[in-house]
Amino acid sequence: MASLLTAALPSPAGPATSHWEGGGRDWRLVLAGDWSEALPAPPAALRAEPGIRIRVDMARLTHWQPPLAGALWQLLAPLSRAGVQLALDGLPRALRSQLARSLPPAADSGRPTNEPEEPPPRWHETLSFIGATLAALARLLRGRTAMRRSDWLWQVEQTGPRSLGIVLLVSSLVGLIVAYMGAEQLQRFGAQSFIANLVTIGVVREIAALVVGIVLAGRVGAAFAAQLGSMRAGEEIDALTTLGVDPVEHLVLPRLLALLVTGPLLTLCAGVAGLAVGGVVAVGLYDVPMAAYVATTRESLSGWDLTVGLLKGSVYAMLVALAGCRQGLNAGRSAQAVGEATTAAVVQAIVWMVVAASLLTVIFQRLGV
């Protein structure tokens, strides 16, 4: 004895409609258009009693929003308490997992019949997260986002000014190392005047962006993973989903956009700090005239080096945000799992940055920029 509950959403556009179809033991709940309305109550002919089995079939689903989870819960929870057996394998994975954790077990069984499925592979989680992020960005560009401007400004303040001090310190020390070691080699050929070229190309084009990326991975990426992981362990993210708030728009998008703004700005500051310390080394230790150092630096910066460096800084910052938020949203529900997610976020961000640096270097070399 089985009833059929089908939810179909042909397209994300058009007026929202919902109605029941069928009779006897076979019923369908048909949803059409851009879903935004409450689901209709089950017909009186559909009796909620032990032995009835309802299968949720969403094979034709093409678009759904988080409010659908709350509406389905309100519809299915009373049926489950009355003894109706619910089969949720036809739902999308995210929706099925949410309902499986929140729906009560059937009254005539000693265990839930809607147990969540085995966790998907990690690469599948990463692709799903990136897809959800891109969808949230698309909604932002269309002006249909739920992201609050205050959340974005708060993240800009947390990731930018609060990271500036450590970025300047590390970049200055790295610039000192590059200038000193390079000058030692150039001095053998009497080419100290080229110290400015070495520092400008090395620091501005490559090192400043990497320094910013590594600092952000350790300071910001780890914080993102810890914050979101703690929220997941405390079921705050589940609560947002149940209330119809998209966690990606509410939590991930402000962090990603904040780093896209502060990443290139921090890279610019890191490059200036590296050039300044390189100038101190060249002028103070190797007797390069200050005017010559400044003129050579300006000449080197007239090319694509500054543009390439800022672009790399933006890419690295974006990867840090994606790695931190991805690990946090998919963390386990214990303190140990949150710690593991924090560590994984830093490692994953650095690996992604190294891969991106290699690819970007090859691409820019092939393009001659």
E strand residue ranges, 16-117? 17-23, 26-32, 53-57, 85-90
Asked if residue 150 and residue 69 are part of one domain, the reply reads no
Final residue before a domain boundary, out of 45, 67, 102:
102
Does 356 map to a domain?
yes
Asked if residue 206 and residue 90 are part of one domain, the reply reads no
Domain that holds residue 242: 126-367
Does 117 map to a domain?
no
Asked if residue 140 and residue 60 are part of one domain, the reply reads no
Tens of pLDDT, residue by residue over 87-123, are 676 666 667 777 777 776 654 444 444 444 456 667 7
- Asked if residue 208 has pLDDT above 90, the reply is yes
Q: What is the maximal distance between C-alpha atoms in the chain?
A: 95
pTM (predicted TM-score)? 0.71
Does 197 map to a domain?
yes
How high is the pLDDT of residue 245? Answer: 84
Asked if residue 319 and residue 225 are part of one domain, the reply reads yes
Asked if residue 90 and residue 31 are part of one domain, the reply reads yes
- Asked if residue 41 has pLDDT above 80, the reply is no
Helices (H), 188-287: 195-199, 208-216, 222-233, 236-242, 247, 253-286
How high is the pLDDT of residue 29? Answer: 65
Final residue before a domain boundary, out of 68, 102, 136:
102
Asked if residue 204 and residue 344 are part of one domain, the reply reads yes
- Asked if residue 52 has pLDDT above 90, the reply is no
Final residue before a domain boundary, out of 69, 102, 135:
102
How high is the pLDDT of residue 9? Answer: 38
Average pLDDT, the chain: 81
How high is the pLDDT of residue 1? Answer: 41
- Asked if residue 169 has pLDDT above 90, the reply is yes
How high is the pLDDT of residue 10? Answer: 39
Question: Given pLDDT bands bounded at 50, 70 and 90, which one contains residue 79?
Answer: confident
Q: Which residues contact 168 (CB under 8 A, 6 or more apart)?
A: 269, 270, 273
Does 269 map to a domain?
yes
Q: Which residues contact 19 (CB under 8 A, 6 or more apart)?
A: 29, 30, 40
Averaged over 210-226, what is the pLDDT? 96
Does 225 map to a domain?
yes
Give the type of residue at 252: V
Question: Given pLDDT bands bounded at 50, 70 and 90, which one contains residue 369?
Answer: confident
Round to whole Å and give the CA distance between 292 and 289.
5
Question: Given pLDDT bands bounded at 50, 70 and 90, which one contains residue 305?
Answer: confident
Q: Which of the two residues, 232 and 65, has the higher pLDDT score?
A: 232
Asked if residue 130 and residue 95 are part of one domain, the reply reads no
Q: What's the total number of domains in the chain?
A: 2
Q: Among 127-131, 204-208, 242-246, where is mean pLDDT lowest?
A: 242-246
| Structure tokens, 34 | 């851009």
Asked if residue 135 and residue 53 are part of one domain, the reply reads no
Question: Given pLDDT bands bounded at 50, 70 and 90, which one contains residue 58?
Answer: low
Asked if residue 213 and residue 67 are part of one domain, the reply reads no
For a pLDDT cut of 70, what percent of the chain falls above it? 75
Asked if residue 325 and residue 357 are part of one domain, the reply reads yes
Tens of pLDDT, residue by residue over 266-292, are 999 999 999 999 989 888 888 888 988
Asked if residue 209 and residue 258 are part of one domain, the reply reads yes
Does 116 map to a domain?
no
How high is the pLDDT of residue 8? Answer: 38
Does 215 map to a domain?
yes
308-345 residues labelled b (16+ CB within 10 A) or e (exposed)? bbbbbbbbbbbbbbbbbbbbbbbbeeeeeebebbbebb
Does 108 map to a domain?
no
Question: Given pLDDT bands bounded at 50, 70 and 90, which one contains residue 152?
Answer: very high
Round to whole Å and give the CA distance between 346 and 219.
9
Averaged over 150-169, what is the pLDDT? 95
Averaged over 228-246, what is the pLDDT? 87
Asked if residue 316 and residue 250 are part of one domain, the reply reads yes
